[in-house]
Amino acid sequence: MWYKVSIFLTFAVNSWCAQENLVQNPGFESPLSGHWKAVGFSIARSSDAYNGSYALKCTGRFDLSPGINAGDIDVKIDHVKHLFGWGTLVKDQWMIDSNYRHYQDMVYEYFNTATTQGLKWKFDKGTATHPDYSQAMACVDTLKEKGMIVRAHNLFWGFAKNLPPYVVHMSRDQLNVTVQNHLNYMINITKGKASHWDVINELVHGQWFEEQFHDPDYSQDIFRQVKLLDPKPLLMLNDFNVVARPEIADAYLQQAQTFLAQGVPLDGLGLQGHFHDTVPDPQQILLYLDLMAQAGLPLDVTELDVWQQDPDVRADYYEMVLRVLFSHPAMHGIVLWGFWDQHVVDKRSSLVDGHDLTINAAGKRVFNLIKETWSTHVNMSLSASSTNFDLRGFNGDYEVTVLKNGAKIKVVPFSLFGKETTVNISVDSNIGTLLR
């Protein structure tokens, strides 16, 4: 749960020589307009000050990286005496109406899969000997508590530019030890929590580890090690320019077939789907999905976004792409590459806009497909002669809820995927119970 935070700050910055403030209005004793600015939350003066008459009150955080700006300051480093401030957390103001809370609720309500990018090695906040993935794992734990499927992205990357700087200049022996340590550490902290692992990202486009170790099968060995350390997650390749711009589709299929021929535990293919300033072609998408399906593996579109300035055109394109993807028998999952215009690569892909989280035309179209068109809702009444029902349903997770006089007496979960399923439920024999 996210909580609303109010912080009171008082700053002072003095020069060593002149003992004068380098920051204008450092104690907020004068009006804030024209100098102090906020990014990601609202600011106002408050009389609840540490010293002086006023402090700065920060409320309503709505951005991932909030901060305050005191304007440009011309400072010589040896002239700075001190920069300090006092902060007070106001604990009795809860985040009941926070945009972040609404944002989270929207994720949980409309989507059941989240990709945790914080597990990328390049985003590690620590070092080779003291890695720090605490924030990423807190995110994973929260998603799991909400019953969401977590795709872990990613253990390694085929490009040097997407590795921590301390890695790329290591000797071969140092690199091998570092890779093994990273692999063991990551699987240890994620074991049992991830449903998918993008083991080595974009391997068709970059084979940096193969080049460093002069071993064309280096990545295959990494897959085998991951499966031994944690058998639960599906191990995936993941690459771009396969469906939206199918420039490497043939090479990607060949790579997957090579892995399988060598007995590598490859469980699925991740297809990035970035439709940037292009008109989606349904026939072409189907053609290349059919090609990828020749590997005999589940397909997941892992990074879907559509860039169009006009939300109505964007809605048409999203629906076109989603319907084609959803219709393919090898398609097992579709993950949007962000949906809020405050946290996407390009705002032209958004489904939700602004700090009030307004669902735009594209969002309404997508959410209608997910929650209405492709969801199965059936209400049935039991009778003395009618206790068996044959239904058709979309793939997915379900709950059968048995009600009697409006009260739940039993809830039975089950999943439907790719084959007929029989669900047996034993309930009180009294007539009039409603099965929905």
Please, what is the angle between helix 282-293 and helix 249-261, to 10°? 20
The two structure tokens encoding residue 327: 């219709």
- Count of other CB atoms within 10 angstroms of residue 409: 13
Query: 423 CB contacts (<8 Å, ≥6 apart)?
Result: 400, 412, 414
Dist. CA 112–CA 149, nearest whole Å = 6
Dist. CA 373–CA 239, nearest whole Å = 29
Give residue 112's identity as a one-letter amino acid code.
N
Q: DSSP characters for 102-151?
A: HHHHHHHHH-SEEEEGGGSGGG-SS-SSS---HHHHHHHHHHHHTT-EEE
The two structure tokens encoding residue 11: 């700053």
Considering only the top CATH level, what class is 99-373? alpha beta
Dist. CA 86–CA 8, nearest whole Å = 7
pLDDT score recorded for residue 377: 81
Please report the sign of the dihedral spanned by the C-alpha atoms of residue 149, residue 144, residue 239, residue 199: negative
Per-residue pLDDT of the chain (436 residues; tens, 9 = 90+): 233 333 334 434 333 344 455 667 777 788 877 667 776 667 788 877 656 777 777 776 555 455 666 665 544 434 444 444 444 444 333 323 345 566 777 777 788 777 778 889 988 888 878 888 988 898 889 888 888 889 999 999 999 999 998 899 999 999 999 999 999 999 999 999 999 999 999 999 999 999 999 999 999 999 999 999 999 999 999 999 999 988 999 999 999 999 999 999 999 999 999 999 789 999 999 999 999 999 999 999 999 999 999 999 999 999 999 999 999 999 999 999 999 998 899 999 999 999 889 999 999 999 999 989 998 888 888 766 667 778 888 877 788 888 877 888 888 888 887 778 888 888 765 544 444 4
DSSP character at residue 202: T
DSSP character at residue 227: H
Alpha carbons within 13 A on the beta-carbon side of 415: 3
Domain edges within the chain: 7-89, 99-373, 380-435
pLDDT score recorded for residue 178: 94
The residues that bridge with 115 in the sheet, in sequence order, are 151
Tell whether omega for the bond before 154 is within 30 degrees of 0, i.e. cis.
yes
pLDDT score recorded for residue 309: 96
CA distances from 332 to 82, 89, 110, 270, 299 (A): 57, 45, 17, 10, 6
CA angle 137, 106, 392 (to 5 degrees): 105
User: Smallest Cα–Cα separation from 269: which of 238, 290, 224, 243?
Assistant: 238
pLDDT score recorded for residue 129: 80
Answer for the pair 148, 397: CB distance below 8 angstroms, yes or no. no
DSSP character at residue 37: E
Dist. CA 403–CA 380, nearest whole Å = 11
Dist. CA 392–CA 382, nearest whole Å = 18
The residues that bridge with 69 in the sheet, in sequence order, are 37
